[in-house]
Copies of this chain bind each other. A is one copy, B any other.
Amino acid sequence: MSEIRSLALACREAVPAIAALDSAAKAALLHDMAASLEARCADVLAANARDMQDAAAKGVQGAMLDRLRLDEARVAGIAAALREVAGLPDPVGLVTRRETRPNGLVVERVRIPLGVVAMIYEARPNVTADAAALCLKAGNAVILRGGSEAIHSNTAIAAALHEALRAHGLPEATVTLVEDLRRETMVELLQLTDIVDLAIPRGGEGLIRFVAEHARVPVIKHYKGVCHLYVDRTADPGLALNLLIDGKTSRPGVCNALETLLVHRDAAVAFLPHAVEALRARGVELRGDDTSRALVPDMHAATDEDYAAEFLDLILAVRVVDDLDEAIAHIRRYGSDHTEVIATRDAAAAQRFVQAIRSAVVMVNASSRFSDGGELGLGAEIGISTTRLHAYGPMGAESLTVERFVVRGDGQVRHPVSR
């Protein structure tokens, strides 16, 4: 048996123990993990210093180096996140429906854990603790396969989590960190269909496409967020401008930032020059269609690629549309099923937009930046799904469970038995 298979099997064997813990025991475990992480802060920072040194030697710099970096405050933040997950409601055991059938059978739908979740991620070491916490909260065992840049940090964090598992009499394999980071080992992990119930890749589009292409186990993923704001004919101009500035500039590097502005032609003359001025004052570059460019001087021409792009930067594609239908058609063509926003005072237009757009999150008169598990009330987020299966949009602990059937009777049979 290969090493990764035997690691994964040990993780699967840990499932019954974690799945059987009640809410109080899981919360206590997560609190102890937080305490253990704080107690081992010096070890974690020493390990992180090695990763930072190796990364610097390889020429890594800028945002990527910053994602890797830990300090006391960041370790405290990871511990705080563990305690936050401890305090969330427990999705396991929740009875979502109960029905008594005409024959007296009582049919319940009850949430149970998925089993073994494999997290595939890149440089951020905090994911090691965050993902483990959400998986455990939902009664799952977890296999963590992080990036090679963070291997020492991840190992030190996992050691802290293992200490708490041991103290609770649980096998360390409940949280399994993969230390063999070869690509072929990851591919083998992603094909263990008899062991792994779900793989969740988090990181750049390259990693996610690699996972989607090689996995034979189910994968929940999102490639990118090409989020749209449509400013309707009846939009409140001040409100629309606030949504635009917040969506584009408050954190341009994240997936729920705006990438494209669509403006109804009747609103464009008043709205667009004003909006462009406000965006340019904040360093935003604009790329527009001919109509926008006629209204605003010095705007670059937008290409098809611009309308499909997740810029993750202070760049915004702009288009003036004839009506709501054209806005919907544009989003259907270029959208990524992530998050779309309409600014309007017309309830019927809002309703038509909500019904016609099939994205995971549709907002009416609210910023795209709220498309986030914490902001939408999930407490914490393990990822965002743009796959219309199992979960669609931000995923919290509940998305790491599934509903099954529990049926109670008093001897009912399908065909009466004569004896």
**A interface, CB within 8 angstroms of B:** 15-16, 19-20, 99, 101, 105, 107, 112-115, 193, 197-198, 212-213, 216, 218, 236, 239, 241-243, 245-246, 250, 278, 332, 350, 354-356, 358-367, 369-371, 375-377, 387-394, 402-415, 417, 419
- Flag if A419 contacts B375 (CB, 8 Å): no
Inter-subunit contact B388/A114 (CB<8 Å): yes
- Say which residue of B114, B213, B369, B389 sits within 8 Å of A402 (CB atoms): B389
Assess the A409–B366 pair: CB atoms within 8 A. Answer: yes
Q: Considering the chains assembled together, what is the distance between the CA atoms of A116 and B367 in angstroms?
A: 30
C-alpha spacing A239/B242, complex, angstroms: 67
Whether B114 contacts A408 by the Cβ 8 Å rule is: no
The answer to whether B402 touches A364 (Cβ under 8 A) is no
> Do residues B20 and A355 form an inter-chain contact, with CB atoms below 8 A?
yes
Known: A414-B367, A417-B246. A389 touches B218 (CB 8 A): yes
Are the CB atoms of B411 and A390 closer together than 8 Å? no
Chain B residues, CB < 8 A from A16: 332, 356
Q: How far is the CA of A375 from the CA of B412 in the complex (A)?
A: 12
Q: Is the CB of B239 within 8 A of A411?
A: yes
Which residues does chain B contribute within 8 Å of A242, judged by CB atoms?
A: 411, 413, 417
- The count of identical subunits is 2
A selection of 10 A-B contacts at a CB cut-off of 8 Å is: A101-B376, A112-B358, A112-B388, A241-B417, A361-B405, A363-B408, A365-B409, A367-B409, A367-B413, A392-B402
Cα(A90)–Cα(B355), bound, Å:
15
What residues on B are CB-neighbors of A354 within 8 Å? 406
Asked if A388 meets B243 with Cβ closer than 8 Å, knowing A377-B101, A404-B361, A408-B365, the reply is no
**Residues of chain B contacted by A376 (CB below 8 angstroms):** 101, 107, 405, 407
Q: How far is the CA of A405 from the CA of B197 in the complex (A)?
A: 25
Q: Which of B243, B246, B404 contacts A392 (CB 8 A)?
A: B404
A372 to chain B, nearest CB (A): 9
A20 to B236, CA, bound (A): 28
Report Cα–Cα, A410/B377, bound state, in Å.
Answer: 18
Task: Say whether B414 contacts A370, CB under 8 Å.
Answer: yes
Q: Which residues of B contact A216 (CB under 8 A)?
A: 212-213
Residue of B nearest to A376 (CB): B107
Nearest B-chain residue to A401, judged by Cβ = B388
Please, which residues of chain B bring their CB within 8 A of the CB of A406? 354, 361-362, 364
Residue of B nearest to A256 (CB): B414
Closest to A16 in B: B356
- Known interface pairs A236-B411, A242-B411, A367-B412. Does A394 touch B405 (Cβ–Cβ under 8 Å)? yes
Q: Which residues of B contact A278 (CB under 8 A)?
A: 419
Closest to A418 in B: B245
A194 shortest CB reach to chain B, Å: 11
Give 7 nearest A-B pairs by CB, closest first. A366-B409, A246-B413, A369-B414, A390-B390, A239-B411, A250-B415, A361-B405
- Minimal beta-carbon separation of A135 from chain B (angstroms): 14
